[in-house]
Structure 1
Amino acid sequence: CKGSCAWKGKASLASGSNPVSSCNAQDQKISDYDAKSACDNGSTYMCSSQSPWAISDSLSYGYAAVHISGGTESSWRCACYELTFTSGAVSGKKMIVQATNTGGDLNSNQFDLAI
């Protein structure tokens, strides 16, 4: 599917900024921000470049679908968050994510990492 941050007018952006990129089925960027999502019988998807990457052994960057309690889609969409993992092999490590999707199927205060 096309991420919700890829639609024009979905977030307040700095002057000269554009929404998050979308790609076609061949992973080529599409310049039409109004192009229909593949989940709605369209031809746009999230790009493979929206995958996480490590900066160090304790910090990585990435993208996520987000649902924050007490907020609205417009308040959390396209924002960045620092996550700290609290269990498992990654306990204590941090990840900074940009919210590029709404996570309509998430419960409150959840992040669905794009991997």
Structure 2
Amino acid sequence: MISLTIITILLISIALVRGQTAGTTTTTWDCCEPACGYTSNLSAGARGPVRSCNKTNGPAAAGAQNACFTQGGQAFSCSSYQPIIISNTLSYGFAGHGNTATATCCKCYQFMWTSGAAAGKSMIVQAINAGGITDTDFDIYTPGGGVGDYNGCTAQYGAPSGGWGRQYGGDTRTTTFFELILTA
């Protein structure tokens, strides 16, 4: 098995970087099936769709409906979408990014925080959700990060009706980010 350090080096060495952009990050954890879980939302060249899980974090059944949009729906975000700390300056994760899923689904981005306690630290994320998020902002999937308009955590985990964390975006920080374009 290839170590995460080697994967990081490979990602950085084979990635082309598109222009640097300033934006902000917030946190979210609404338990809803990600928008990139739908084949119709995949951006050009994306491989997917991203995985959706059932109530106990196993694979969602084929054709399961998003728990946030359908009464009794059984498709949720997976608990494995929480951030992974690689070192004291780098982490991996998943995020919502952009207003339309078809523009951002499955794309990868690297950003560095330029303010707050995380200033100087970097994160590489894969966009797995969209909607209500600008093209310069990221909603990082973080347990307890707050819900937005929807809350699937009550159905999945028995969370309070307002979810966990601050609604509409937990902690806000300023970032500088790059889109990573992987080449074969």
TM over 0.5: yes
Cα distance in 1 between the residues matched to 2:135 and 2:121: 22
Matching residue of 1:38:
67
Structure 1 SS opposite 2:117 = helix
- Structure 1 residue ranges without an equivalent (≥5): none
Structure 2 SS opposite 1:9 = helix
Structure 2 SS opposite 1:30 = coil
Percentage identity across paired residues of the two chains: 39
Give the alignment of 1:10-21 within 5 angstroms: 10-11=41-42, 12-13=44-45, 17-21=47-51
Q: Please state which structure has a larger fraction of its residues in helix.
A: 2
Q: TM-score, normalised by structure 1?
A: 0.83
Structure 1 stretches of at least 4 aligned residues deviating more than 2 Å after TM superposition: 105-108
Select which of 8, 14, 23 maps to 2:53.
23
Matching residue of 1:112:
139
Q: TM-score, normalised by structure 2?
A: 0.54
State how many pairs are aligned: 108
Q: Which has the higher contact order (CA 8 A, sep 6+)?
A: 2
Name the CA shift for 1:18/1:108 in 2 (closer, same or farther; >3 Å). Answer: closer
Cα distance in 2 between the residues matched to 1:96 and 1:111: 11
Matching residue of 2:84:
53
Select which of 88, 94, 97 maps to 1:63.
94
1:100 aligns with 2:92: no
1:6 aligns with 2:37: yes
Structure 1 SS opposite 2:77 = coil
Greater gyration radius: 2
Aligned CA-pair RMSD: 1.8
Cα distance in 1 between the residues matched to 2:102 and 2:134: 17
